Amino acid sequence: MVTPFAQFVGSQAAINVIVGERYKEVTDQVIQYALGLWGSEGSDNMDAAAKAKILNRARAREIEKIEHPEPTLAEVRKQYGGPHLSDEELLLRFYAGPEFVDALKIAPPRKEYLDARKPLVRLIEELGKKKLAHVYIRKGDFSLTVQRSQRSMVRLAG
């Protein structure tokens, strides 16, 4: 599932369990989804009985009457930073908020963790950081010798 749909489904499932009845209580986002405000594909393909139960409430009629402003691209650019912004940053600022984007820009660089990419290279790099005089690793026909001396030496055999 793709966000935001996955969050709608998860939240609604939790509400159904807590209340003890499907769609007795629904979030505004589920109503918006059923109304097609998040795209007509989902609304058009909803189970008819579930959709009717979601939309047969006063809150659905309130949400249906709300007029959502549709600013032009020029208006959005003017509001969120002007013509110098990349399309990507403009979308982030519009959907996530300028505070979020600004916080990302001042965040420290991401911390790198050990992972499984190029494990042999990573192993050698990490061993090189240690104060070890000699390391020998062997598995099957493969062997690795790392030896610290005046001249650095790494010998791979396999």
List pLDDT tens digits, range 51-85: 999 999 999 999 999 998 888 989 999 999 888 89
pLDDT score recorded for residue 23: 93
**37, two tokens:** 């405000």
**67, two tokens:** 């007029």
Percent of the chain past pLDDT 70, that is, above it, reads 91
Residue 122 near residue 114 (C-beta atoms within 8 A): yes
Quickly list H helices, 20-57. 28-35, 40-44, 48-55
pLDDT score recorded for residue 15: 95
State the average pLDDT over residues 75-99. 89
Q: Is the dihedral of CA 30, 35, 41, 44 positive or negative?
A: positive
Per-residue pLDDT for 31 more than 70? Answer: yes
pLDDT score recorded for residue 133: 78
pLDDT score recorded for residue 113: 72
pLDDT category at 2 given cuts 50, 70, 90 is low
pLDDT score recorded for residue 66: 93
Q: Pick the more confident residue, 42 or 54.
A: 54
Percent of the chain past pLDDT 90, that is, above it, reads 37
Residue 132 near residue 146 (C-beta atoms within 8 A): yes
For 123-158, how does the pLDDT look when each residue is reduced to its tens digit (9 = 90+)? 777 777 887 778 888 889 988 787 777 665 555 565
Helix (H, G, I), strand (E, B) or coil at 153: strand
pLDDT category at 24 given cuts 50, 70, 90 is very high
